[in-house]
């Protein structure tokens, strides 16, 4: 039994990594991965919201009528995001200004709504909390991996510590918008390469855009 | 007037929501495969963005802020947007069937689209007044459309190409998006020189 609980957490890390395997939450991944400190802050904030909203939604899963489940989920998530906003504004004003609009935009991060739809509305409170934890850590890990690449190449530092000497020119394009897309594409290609080698390749779909089953 | 045009074109080209600010990436990657669905989705986004701004701006400036309820911004805005999208869907379905048939399928996707919530919040971060906010919303929507339409063309070429095995599908699309985004960086600074306003 203990093993299966652990597997719920580890599921989010690699097998169902929200960013690189499920392709959810692409906007914050691209936007805040310019520096490792931002990535960690964003990851922590999203993890907190994920765990809390998963717990509440799972606890209320028998109460919420099916017809209005989406508005209910969004309201619950928005409540926790407001909580996080207040905490960050009070205790980490530097992080607040670095994340800017992306902090309130956690509300529309598809990882959170996606997990509510896919997991929390069908499972027990404890399992949902663990799933939220695993997904949150998976999100933070992929964000940090991207931020590491972008910060080292674009700014010559990691978590604010200078690694590449000042005399070497920085490839500042990596910390701006095109670098984000490029880095994400490259990282995903590496993951696909690894999957092909280990024979567990999956079909990738853009998680949030095709949820309603249109287009493709 | 110059100020309003400046805001509009800045949002379309320099501060493009998709390619520079990373808002609304999911529909950008998911719906840009065909030109007509790209246009349909973008029109729906413009429509909802302007309407959402028209409703949320007075709500925040006249109701929430004077009563010290500014911290409720996120929760109120997302509920307003969700209700608005639902309402538009019902109205279109009832009175404008033609428009509903072309935009209807995209409307449910828009509630959880970060560019709509993004523009309503950014209007206050940038300190725009009511008219400026509306122009900002229209410009952001138009920028979204520009990116979608341009990218659906790029994508046709990319899909016909033959990249390395591990880059097939999404990874090569992202690299193509990087190059499209790179071209938009060229617009930086052009607006302030055209309109003579310091950025």
Per-residue pLDDT tens over the stretch B152-163: 999 888 888 888
Say whether A216 and B105 touch across the interface (CB within 8 A): no
**CA-based R_g, chain B, Å:** 18
Q: What is the pTM of this model?
A: 0.89
Decide if B102 touches A, using CB distance below 8 A.
no
What is the rounded distance in angstroms from the CA atom of residue B70 to the CA atom of residue B57?
Answer: 12
DSSP class of B63: I
Chain segment B166-197, per-residue pLDDT in tens:
888 889 999 999 999 998 888 877 877 777 76
For A123, other C-beta atoms within 10 Å of its C-beta total: 17
Q: What is the pLDDT of residue A211?
A: 46
Q: Write the CA distances from A149 to A35, A38, A168, B32, B148, integer angstroms.
A: 9, 14, 16, 28, 28
Instruction: Provide, as residue numbers in chain B, all residues whose Cβ is less than 8 Å from the Cβ of A112.
Output: none
Instruction: Provide, as residue numbers in chain B, all residues whose Cβ is less than 8 Å from the Cβ of A179.
Output: 178
Ranges of residues in chain B with a pLDDT under 50 are 199
For A72, other C-beta atoms within 10 Å of its C-beta total: 17
Say whether A110 and B121 touch across the interface (CB within 8 A): no
Nearest to A27 by CA among A213, A167, A192, A180: A180
- Residue of chain A with shortest Cα separation from B14: A177
Closest CB to B166: pick one of A108, A193, A212.
A193
Closest CB to A180: pick one of B22, B30, B72.
B22
Instruction: Provide, as residue numbers in chain A, all residues whose Cβ is less than 8 Å from the Cβ of B20.
Output: 177
Nearest to B79 by CA among B105, B95, B59, B50: B59
Mean of pLDDT over chain B: 87
Chain segment A124-173, per-residue pLDDT in tens:
999 999 999 999 999 999 999 999 999 999 888 888 888 888 888 888 88
Q: What is the pLDDT of residue B115?
A: 87
């Amino acid at each position: 039994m203990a093993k299966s609980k652990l597997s719920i957490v580890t599921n989010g890390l690699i097998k169902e990594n929200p960013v690189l395997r499920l392709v959810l939450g692409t906007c914050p991944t691209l936007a805040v991965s310019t520096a490792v400190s931002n990535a960690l802050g964003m990851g922590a904030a999203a993890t907190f919201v994920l765990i809390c909203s998963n717990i509440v939604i799972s606890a209320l899963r028998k109460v919420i009528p099916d017809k209005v489940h989406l508005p209910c989920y969004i309201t619950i998530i928005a409540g926790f995001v407001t909580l996080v906003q207040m905490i960050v504004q009070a205790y980490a004003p530097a992080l607040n200004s670095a994340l800017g609009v992306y902090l309130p935009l956690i509300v529309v991060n598809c990882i959170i709504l996606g997990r509510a739809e896919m997991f929390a509305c069908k499972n027990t409170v404890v399992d949902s909390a663990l799933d939220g934890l695993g997904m949150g850590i998976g999100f933070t890990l992929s964000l940090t991996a991207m931020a590491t690449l972008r910060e080292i190449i674009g700014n010559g530092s990691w978590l604010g510590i200078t690694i590449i000497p000042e005399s070497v020119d920085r490839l500042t394009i990596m910390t701006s918008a095109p670098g984000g897309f490029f880095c994400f594409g490259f990282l995903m290609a590496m993951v696909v390469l690894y999957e092909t080698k280990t024979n567990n390749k999956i079909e990738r779909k853009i998680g949030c855009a095709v949820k309603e089953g249109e287009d493709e | 007037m110059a100020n309003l045009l400046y805001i509009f074109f800045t949002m379309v080209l320099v501060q493009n929501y998709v390619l520079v600010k990373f808002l609304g990436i999911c529909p950008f990657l998911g719906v840009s495969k065909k030109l007509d669905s790209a246009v349909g989705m973008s029109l729906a986004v413009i429509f909802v963005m302007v309407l959402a701004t028209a409703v949320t701006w007075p709500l925040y400036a006249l109701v929430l802020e004077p009563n010290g309820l500014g911290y409720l911004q996120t929760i109120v805005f997302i509920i307003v947007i969700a209700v608005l999208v639902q309402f538009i869907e019902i109205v279109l379905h009832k009175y404008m069937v033609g428009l509903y048939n072309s935009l209807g399928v995209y409307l449910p996707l828009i509630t959880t689209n970060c560019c709509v919530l993004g523009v309503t919040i950014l209007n206050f971060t940038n300190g725009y007044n009511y008219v400026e906010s509306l122009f900002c919303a229209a410009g952001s929507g138009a920028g979204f459309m520009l990116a979608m339409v341009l990218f659906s063309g790029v994508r046709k070429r990319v899909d016909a190409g033959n990249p390395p095995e591990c880059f097939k599908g999404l990874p090569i699309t992202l690299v193509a998006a990087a190059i499209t985004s790179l071209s938009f960086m060229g617009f930086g600074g052009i607006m302030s020189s055209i309109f003579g306003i310091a950025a």
